[in-house]
Structure 1
Amino acid sequence: MLLADDEAMVRAGVRAILGTDDEIEVVAEAADGVEAVEAVRRHRPDVAVLDIRMPRMDGLAAGAEIRRTVPETAVVVLTTFSEDSYIARALGDGASGFLLKSGDPRELIAGLKAVADGAAYLAPKIAHRIIQELSGGAMTRAAAAKEQVAVLSPRELDVLGLVGAGLSNAEIASRLYLVEGTVKAYVSAILQRLGVKNRVQAAIVAYEAGLVTR
């Protein structure tokens, strides 16, 4: 895992929190967005945790560059700022998670582990705001989403619904009695066929199309 924040004390605090979980290893740190991109290219971590406001290159630009050049590394935005424009840009550029520094440390660990396992994770406060936003014009969105998912096979619809419910590839495999590699292939195909960048965007489509049952 990579930690990128221009404040050394913040990096130390986050590293200390993550150090309480034996399954998480921080392989590199960065003090700005340029360093973050270079470190990801060098270390190829499963997850890059990026602050938004950093010098030389902000976390949103760094996240977009990481997703473009090292797509196997998932991006999580960790910040004190939760303005809608930041959320929209981060998710639009392919971030897999958005967490607030003011959140519970247990939420931080759970969120990063979920993303590392192939799922998407939004801080509860952020998820609530997105759902509120989606509730406006819900009928129009639902019709568009149902048309969008019409290109998928029945099995792909099953997988998409579970992605929308926040399940990881391993959990989906267990639920549908598939091997994890098959689920990964399904998810990749679904993202391509829906024309979305990541699991968060796919989950929103699943929610709007009425595929989320859990």
Structure 2
Amino acid sequence: MNHIERTTDSDKQKLRRQLLTVRGRLPEDVVREAGRALAGRALELPELARAGTVAAYVSVGGEPGTIALLDALCARGVRVLLPALLPDNDLDWGAYTGEGSLTRIRHGGKMTLFEPAGDRLGPDAVTDADVVLLPGLAVDTRGMRLGRGGGSYDRVLARLERAGADPALVVLLYDTEVLERVPAQEHDRAVQAVVTPTGVRRFTGA
């Protein structure tokens, strides 16, 4: 595969630290405004316009905000699924119907997350999604996404592949996080598009 080069986990960790440091310095108003702008751009995607079910996530920390996008999708009548972190770092899923349907969960020494408060639908529920909106720290010109390193979304993408599901894969980032190259390994999968506060970029190799 031509998008795989010799790389190590330490290469990824070094870049993750750099990107997280930059995010950690962002003022709250910048994060909020980025979320509003990103929602507007994402809602223009044809894939989201025709989607019946979208798997998404609630942003945390310095991630571009996603609540505005989630609420807009719900207002369109889209079924929105959100992840719930399992002890082994896999993801279960539940429905989002507004901010009142979220609960704040502290995962031991890991980060605190907002997760769906209702019934759990099982890890395979993501295979029903027409679009999967992915968190990340960066993406490169090939569509290779750099995640946080927990492996949760590697499992999701592997589950989709095993099920023969083929949703559109879209990562949500800041403009400065679209890079020329990120370290990629054999198990990494490309996304079809990235949405940033200023626009959408598609990747033909995904």
The normalised TM-score by structure 1 is: 0.36
Whichever of the two has the greater Rg, that structure is 1
Which structure shows the higher strand fraction? 2
Which structure shows the higher helix fraction? 1
The normalised TM-score by structure 2 is: 0.37
Which protein has greater RCO, CA pairs closer than 8 Å, 6+ apart? 2
